Structure 1
């Protein structure tokens, strides 16, 4: 592989093929999990930085997304968690750090709760235990179905998906499938809506309290806004006082696209600190420079 390249790997679980970007590298293992309607390529900048700073890095296209099976029958939270366990096992990842954004953060959280011996640490990017949200499927489904596809050009896709924020638009546009008639999403909106069934029905606070590994929560505070408000974060800290936190003014929900360099620095500092040692830790929700 060249210094900036990755190789494609496949894992099949219960007949569902899962595609992974294996960035190689040596050192502590990292598994990256994208959000709803996303794909592994969103993590390219972060993956490259983590690999070059001494980690073995793999990014997974979760079921229903990207190069993985687009129409899996089972899109429950349990299925996503089982996929992570299978990828970790079959790609030989040893107690990886699970890093997930949005729905990928939910997958990471639930994996850490159900399999406490699997992750070395957990990094949640714009993700938390949340609360039951019966309206989420209508909201997200309406947005996804409204995409004016096919996009006639990459520029049109960036403008629409980024809303004027180039890194976000570029990140989303990288995941589109180029066909003869234009650029198409690499997911089915109806599959995405079904993937939200569990989120519409319940919160995951019991799972949150079951997590035993060191955890870092990274929140966006930009104009586009983050999804974890102060009340939810305060409850996360109350239930798990050892939680480490960081907020990024100027970044929104897609922190990994808007500020990959800063996110990388936060993760590396977290993993190199005493956060992974035994003993209590003081939670810190701090503002970090965008430079």
Structure 2
């Protein structure tokens, strides 16, 4: 699909009336792809085609991003999960596989907890359970992301997303560094939603078969969170990608996509 024939988004309505832009592409059973904090659906532009041999893909611009409404906060990851259900309802999808990365993985946790009948299989990438049990990024990373210069922050984020070797071979542009159209209030609301996420006590309620993925060099969301999630989600499987940073799904694209496809289609 080229830039000239990408279909216009469909709009769903969240429970509170917020308009949510969503995109459904490809053929076959649906796979919902949930993007990271302060990013729109373009987070998945470089990789969503990898799943179209076995699934159609559904993305959305979470509230505050892309073509969706950008109301004042507060937002929460549980609210964003309910927004995703509104998208499924609008598209007439009763049940879907769900793959969430970074903050999208936090949203995916609540989707599987609060709406278990809607989630067939669950993939969580570069994410954490949140709250006091999570393994937090170190102080140096926090300082890098708190710099007053937006370009310095963007460069720091690119370095946290991708290894120098991968960036040298893939000079960009990168689609994972934030939605440039987001207003400041929506960025703050996304940050608060991600920071206040805490699904620890509810994770054992997840019934969907679950695969948890992470890069072993991830400083944005430390890889120790993979095992923390695995101890809480019944029968979860895990895979750690050697040498990959936060955006393992691009840096280890071929291996990661094949692993997800295999997980989604086994026993079919």
CA contact (8 A) 2:98 2:119 kept: yes
* Pairing partner for 1:221 from 203, 216, 225: 216
Which residue does the alignment assign to 1:267?
A: 260
Aligned residue in 2 for 1:21: 23
Matched residue, 1:162: 158
The alpha-carbon deviation at position 103 of structure 1 amounts to 0.5
Q: Per the alignment, in what secondary structure is the counterpart of residue 117 of structure 1?
A: helix
Q: TM-score, normalised by structure 2?
A: 0.80
Match of 2:100 in 1: 100
The answer to whether 1:186 aligns with 2:181 is: yes
- Deviation, 1:122, is 0.7
Distance, in Å, in 1 between the alignment partners of 2:183 and 2:142 is 13
Please say if 1:208 is aligned against 2:203: yes
Matched residues in 1 for 2:147 and 2:186: separation? 12
Aligned to 2:82: 82
CA offset digits 1:96-154 (Å, max 9, x no partner):
11111110110011011001101111110111313348x98x986983773536x9xxx
Tell me, which stretches of 5 or more residues in structure 2 are unaligned?
A: none
The 1-side partners of 2:246 and 2:61 are apart by 19
Where does residue 47 of structure 1 map in the other structure?
Answer: 48
Instruction: Say which SS state the counterpart of residue 98 (structure 1) adopts.
Output: strand
Instruction: Measure how far apart 1:31 and its partner are.
Output: 0.8
TM-score by length of 1: 0.74
> Which has more radius of gyration?
1
Give the CA deviation at 1:266.
Answer: 1.2
Cα-Cα RMSD: 3.3
User: Hey, what does 2:69 align to over in structure 1?
Assistant: 69
The count of residues paired between Structure 1 and Structure 2 equals: 255
Is the 1:171–1:257 contact (alpha carbons within 8 Å) kept by the matching residues of 2? Answer: no
Q: What runs of 5+ residues in structure 1 fail to find an aligned partner?
A: 152-156, 177-184, 277-291
Q: After TM superposition, list the pairs within 5 Å mapping 1:227-242 onto structure 2.
A: 227-230=221-224, 232-242=225-235
CA distance in 1, matches of 2:107, 2:176: 23
Evaluate the alpha carbon distance shift between residue 57 and residue 142 of structure 1 in structure 2; reply closer, same or farther with a 3 A threshold.
same
Q: Is the 8 A contact 1:6 1:21 kept in 2?
A: no
SS state at 1:246 partner: strand
